[in-house]
Amino acid sequence: MAPSPPEDLQCDVNGNCAAPPGKPLEAPPALAAGDGELRWLRRCVEAAAKGFAIGAGLKGGLALFSVLVRIRSRRSPRSRKTGAMTNEEAVVLAVKETVRYGLFLGTFAGSYVSVDEYIAAVWGRKRTARWRSLLAGLIAGPSMLLTGPGTQHTSLAIYILMRAAVLASRCGIKSKRFGKICKPLTWSHGDVFLMCLSSAQILSAYILKQESLPSSYKSFLNKHGGKDLSILQGVKDVVNHTAFSNLAGIEKYYKSVGVDIKLDPNMKVPCSIVHGNQSCTGHVFSFLLQAYGRAVPVYVPVYLVPALVVHRQHLMKRPYSIIGKSFLGVARSSLFLSVYCASAWAWTCLLFRTFHRANTPLVILGTFPTGLALLIEKKSRRIEISLYCLARAIESFFTWMTDAGLCPPILLIKRADVVVFSIATSIIMHCYAQEREVFRSKYLNVLDWVFGVPAPPDSEDKNCYRPDEAKKCQ
Dump pLDDT digits (tens) for 51-70.
Answer: 999 888 888 877 777 777 77
For residue 9, being part of any structural domain is answered with no
Q: What's at 194, amino acid-wise?
A: L
Dihedral angle of Cα 254, 258, 259, 265, to the nearest 10 degrees: 30
Residue 308 resides in a domain: yes
Let me know if residue 347 belongs to a domain.
yes
Q: Which whole number is the average pLDDT over 201-215?
A: 91
Predicted confidence band of residue 73 (pLDDT cuts 50, 70, 90): low
What value does the CA radius of gyration of the chain take, rounded to a whole number of Å? 29
- As a whole number, the mean pLDDT across the chain is 81
Residue 311 covered by a domain:
yes
DSSP H/E element including 17? strand 17-18
**Max alpha carbon distance in the chain (Å)?**
116
Residue range of the domain that includes 262: 189-414
Cα separation, 130 vs 430, whole angstroms: 8
Mean pLDDT of 305-330: 76
Domain count, the chain: 1
Question: What number of other Cβ atoms are within 10 A of residue 174's Cβ?
Answer: 12
Domain presence at residue 183: no
Residue 158 to residue 425: CA distance in whole angstroms: 11
Flag whether 345 is in a domain: yes
Measured between alpha carbons, how far is 375 from 377 in angstroms, rounded to an integer? 5
Note whether residue 158 is domain-resident: no
Q: Which residue has the higher pLDDT, 15 or 442?
A: 442
Looking only at the bridges linking them, the beta strands covering 465-466 and 17-18 are unpaired
Q: How far is CA 239 from the centre of its chain?
A: 33
Which of 100-109, 144-153, 215-224, 456-465 shows the lowest per-residue confidence on average (mean pLDDT)?
Answer: 456-465
Q: What angle do CA 124, 127, 131 make, to 5 degrees?
A: 105
String of DSSP letters for 247-270: HHHHHHHHHHTT------TT-SST
Nearest to 193 by CA among 403, 24, 372: 372
For the cut 60, the answer to whether the pLDDT of residue 338 exceeds it is: yes
For the chain, the first-to-last Cα distance in angstroms comes to: 13
Give phi and psi for 188, each to the nearest 5.
-65, -30
pTM over 0.75: no
What is the arithmetic mean of pLDDT over 329-344? 95
Assigned domain for 339 exists: yes
